A and B are shown apart, each in its own frame.
Chain A
């Protein structure tokens, strides 16, 4: 089987053959690759764990309409084969061929957007992606796009001013003429499928679901991965790689969604940014949580399947998914099965996935009219932080105003995301009143025995969890929009 990947690095086609090279391993990150090149030192490592954005680069690939779609990503988390068939743009690529600066670069200069300059290449690339994808971004969208780029010098204000200037300028662009040839070149790169066995690692990259199932059927120790935002840390930060990696990022059907009568079916490989766009109208509480999930760079590659499969106790998508009654669609050579998410997650980072299975999709039912659903996240910092406690709550009232169904899902309160059975029970049959919310909150003390850790003490978690129910009441009481 071949073991090459092909992509565009800026305007230059690059092919890497992992078999022919002692230097490269497919579990290398894109950042390690870029930093190894003498002319790509602009991309920096600030943390090597997807938290600071100094390594931000932009990936361009054809979207459904056949146009180039630009996404800012953390190059420190992406495994190198994941750029196959895409264009990788770094800060060195932005100048126009005549040597003049891109409007994003010029605006950063005009507004003193650089002080020490170390975060600047990442900031420039984030702004470039915004310039391409969202030229009419609001002030809030600019802030949100930049939340994944830490800057310790400027206080961000000069960068906001730069963003406003360059976005105001984004008119007919000089590089558009190049996009046609870029698209043609990217489209001419055939999908890569291969299995690579190094000294101690295995890296498989199937291009179809059948192939993926066949590979994991043969070798159930493979770790399936889409965006690698979690697994990459295990490999590169903890130096504890899994026995093998099954890279699912090349499988188109996993990145697709479809709508059925009663539910949305979201491919497990859809990025969280994509998912947020799909569920904005139908599942606003999930969308709201996804807006605070990691940074834009993370959301552009992290997936719903990854968040579900990781089963972290503070996975930010999980409470909302459970509140909406999501189910997980699992596939293997033996067939497929669908399991409610609340039954799928069994313990701390432990799920009911069977050997040889992969998560193919998440089925997300449409909520019935009148359902009151909210999701909350409490973290030390508002943006790009891991939850101390998160929660998603859903109530269904009878026509006489009594609670018929309650789902109160909490993360950060136990080793895994789960419902608060006692608190839910306390609500049934009651009117949705402050007293009911407080009674349910009191029952949480029996539902959960949270731990103290670096993000917060057990007492703080208990207090916040109880308060979130009060907040839920305050936000959904009569008179408020359901």
Chain B
């Protein structure tokens, strides 16, 4: 049974309403955000009067018109809601307009006079480093003695890798509808991954308390991290306009505005040195991670932390040192995106493994396998967590066999020997991804489960549905808990009025945390019902008294497992519960057990468990145009016992292709004034159907239920993203083949056609 069918039904018929599709309240105003075109400038003066005088314009606001705090930094309070004396990036919100139509908003914007005095802007990591423009103190994490390990190693390599920014490109752009209520009440319909934070920040800018703001989220048209903190912005702006006018206001960023105003995946510059023996076994690795945080902190430090915690990927590195700095630039504040620092770090360690293989003339898979986490003491990460029974070697062997890895590598070599203008490349890369928020307190979730007297169930939880199939999984968990068909369970829109103080739906944790909270609420209800059922059975069937421990919920009925025939349909039983004054509502709560770590020391157990996944990619490279085409991809994914294999498969296929986009065609460029050049889909290219490999196999490794999670399942959202690195390294393999795999190609990320051609040119013999 396809458990996502119910949601899908509304998608395929067009009934599913996103925020912009909701029936418009009467007297609705449209909102427009007026942004800075300067990357860094002092605001000398501005004049809003002409704009305010236009008929049909209801409000034109500046930072002076904010009744509460002019602040929307989610963790560190360093991000203004509207610029005050200075703008610090192009695309920063400066003024807000509400008018009867969008056309009027635009006319009003044209009437605003602002005088900027340009200031020097920092637009690259190098400039930031030069100016020592740090967003916060650098951090170090180490185990063993990297310096000594490097010195003692038989072989050493070092280099610098740059990874590019990435735009989320959720199909639904940022959007919010605010409806003012009585007094100071405000209802916020937002496309946010973090309703509680949206609530807190909207209350903050309005200067009201959280119990006066209700945030409701039915669904998101994609998030990918881009709506974890930055949906707050649109919500705050909309709330301000709604408060100022006393009318409902909607702001929907158009695609170009969204791309210009919002942050991206952090670009990284990574310096690395690695020491290894003649078998390719790693002795020591040292990394210097530098990330471009943009103009404010946002989640940059948490992202850098996750990068540091994934610098090992799947490999045991006895001596490891990671130094990390987050730099402040005059660009939109970079933010969460699927993988959250993991992809950048894995690109670096995988580059090292790839280089070791080339350096020693070995097959990269052999080198990778040699370095996988293994038995003690080679099973402890550089931050002290034990990697329990890593299935890495078995998975690599199984995938190599099922994908004909060795045969195809030989075939590629034969192909390369007899083609002048084409090369094939193949790479197998693993992913070991830690599951849990590394900000430990966030590993909690709440739920509120309601049973109605007709036997139908409504489930409320703190997670948001954004395409990952969370609600279908929650529905499955609830259906299994009550022994009911899924159709009897309804999952409500997420609302801060029903579940308070929730964590963002992020870090792949949505089902793990919320699923457990829902299950706990269900257990409370079942216990309560089980205690009341013996009386019902006694009245109906007489005989010996049932015991609460024997009451089971199965097949749509409640029964005594010791007394066949002693069974009441769930719906009848619920009517009875209502008549017998039994509460049919319960809240549930869950916190991830047994995790915790010492951030200051960088040591402990930050993760509940790891997800393992691997991919083999084969590419065909056109040496004349730099065009790389994926020919075949094989993925083997270890995801515990899947609650819904169809959903998990979709996350794997989709995550992989998003990763391929980051590695290949998606390139963010700014002009010399810090203005985004790639601000629309005609210049920023995410993968299309034409980029899917014609042969694409996905296998879910079965038979490994995950202890300590709901139904033995594992998180799924982020890990597959990093499988895109297999396509990236397959391209590198193809480039490397042009020089007989004897030289190390220059190779950064993304590998656009232009980057590939440049890399090929530098490898040409005689240059």
Contacts and interface: CB of A to CB of B under 8 A. Distances in A.
A143 B692 contact: yes
B221 to A, nearest CB: 3
A117 interface: yes
B221 A118 contact: yes
A1 interface: no
B681 to A, nearest CB: 4
B600 interface: no
Given A118-B171, A464-B757, A91 B12 contact: yes
B163 to A, nearest CB: 18
B509 interface: no
A474 interface: yes
Interface stretch (A65-73, A178-186, A366-374, A383-391): A383-391
B665 A381 contact: yes
Interface stretch (B38-46, B305-313, B359-367, B644-652): B644-652
A145 to B, nearest CB: 8
B7 interface: yes
B744 to A, nearest CB: 22
A171 interface: no
A38 B23 contact: yes
A153 B717 CA distance: 11
Nearest to A381: B685
Nearest to A94: B13
Given A155-B654, A454-B678, A41 B13 contact: no
Contacts of B341: none
B139 interface: no
B694 A139 contact: yes
A69 B461 CA distance: 47
A91 to B, nearest CB: 4
Interface stretch (B14-22, B86-94, B118-126, B182-190): B14-22
Interface stretch (A106-114, A248-256, A336-344): A106-114
Interface string B682-718: 1101111111101010000000000000000000000
A33 interface: no
Interface of A is mostly: loop
B152 interface: no
A149 B688 CA distance: 7
B254 interface: yes
Interface in A148-169: 148-160
Contact of A155 (B420, B626, B657, B667): B657
Nearest to B469: A115
A180 to B, nearest CB: 25
Interface in B149-175: 168-173
A150 B684 CA distance: 12
Interface string B132-161: 000000000000000000000000000000
Given A116-B170, A152-B169, A457-B754, A383 B624 contact: no
B304 to A, nearest CB: 25
Contact of A384 (B169, B219, B469, B688): B688
A133 interface: no
A49 B681 contact: yes
Given A51-B682, A149-B689, A378 B12 contact: no
A273 interface: no
Given A54-B171, A116-B219, A156 B689 contact: yes
A385 B685 contact: yes
Nearest to A384: B688
Contacts of B172: 44, 46, 116, 118
Interface string A27-47: 000000000001001111111
A456 interface: yes
Interface stretch (A401-409, A418-426, A465-473): A465-473
A159 B10 CA distance: 16
B449 to A, nearest CB: 25
Given A150-B688, A158-B653, A474-B421, A114 B7 contact: yes
Interface in B715-765: 752-754, 757-758, 761
A108 B667 CA distance: 31
A119 B224 CA distance: 15
B9 interface: yes
A149 B692 CA distance: 13
Contacts of B20: 41, 45
Interface of B is mostly: loop
B746 to A, nearest CB: 15
Q: Please tell me the size bucket of the interface on B.
A: 35 or more
A380 B650 contact: no
B317 to A, nearest CB: 32
Of B15, B222, B677, the most chain A CB neighbours within 10 A belong to B222
A455 interface: yes
A148 B688 CA distance: 8
A150 B7 contact: no
B12 A48 contact: no
B581 interface: no
B106 interface: yes
B220 interface: yes
Contacts of A113: 8, 12
Interface in A130-155: 139, 142-144, 146-155
Interface in B637-665: 646-647, 649-650, 653-658, 665
Contacts of B658: 152, 155
A383 B11 contact: no
Contacts of A115: 222, 467-469, 650, 654
Given A42-B13, A47-B680, A139-B694, A464 B625 contact: yes
Contacts of A106: 12
Contact of B689 (A94, A124, A160, A471): A160
A88 interface: no
Given A42-B14, A457-B754, A154 B171 contact: no
B221 A41 contact: no
A219 interface: no
B224 A152 contact: yes
Contacts of B222: 115-116, 118, 152-153
B723 to A, nearest CB: 11
Contact of B690 (A44, A144, A153, A468): A144
Given A108-B12, A155-B654, A382-B627, A147 B690 contact: yes
Contacts of A159: 689
B397 interface: no
Contacts of B627: 378, 382
A468 B624 contact: yes
A46 B171 contact: yes
B120 to A, nearest CB: 24
Given A112-B650, A464-B757, A52 B171 contact: yes
B176 to A, nearest CB: 16
Of B220, B254, B681, B758, the most chain A CB neighbours within 10 A belong to B681
B14 A121 contact: yes
B669 interface: yes
A470 B757 CA distance: 15
Interface in B11-63: 11-18, 20-21, 23
A476 to B, nearest CB: 13
Contact of A90 (B14, B169, B650): B14
Contact of A112 (B8, B688, B690, B754): B8
Nearest to B758: A460
B256 interface: yes
Nearest to B18: A118
A95 interface: yes
A239 interface: yes
A160 B754 CA distance: 30
B690 A383 contact: yes
23 contacts: A41-B14, A91-B13, A112-B8, A115-B467, A115-B469, A116-B219, A116-B222, A116-B466, A146-B689, A153-B650, A153-B654, A154-B654, A155-B650, A156-B692, A157-B696, A378-B753, A380-B752, A381-B691, A383-B690, A454-B669, A464-B757, A470-B624, A474-B421
Given A155-B687, A380-B752, 6 more contacts: A47-B681, A116-B220, A121-B12, A142-B689, A380-B665, A384-B690
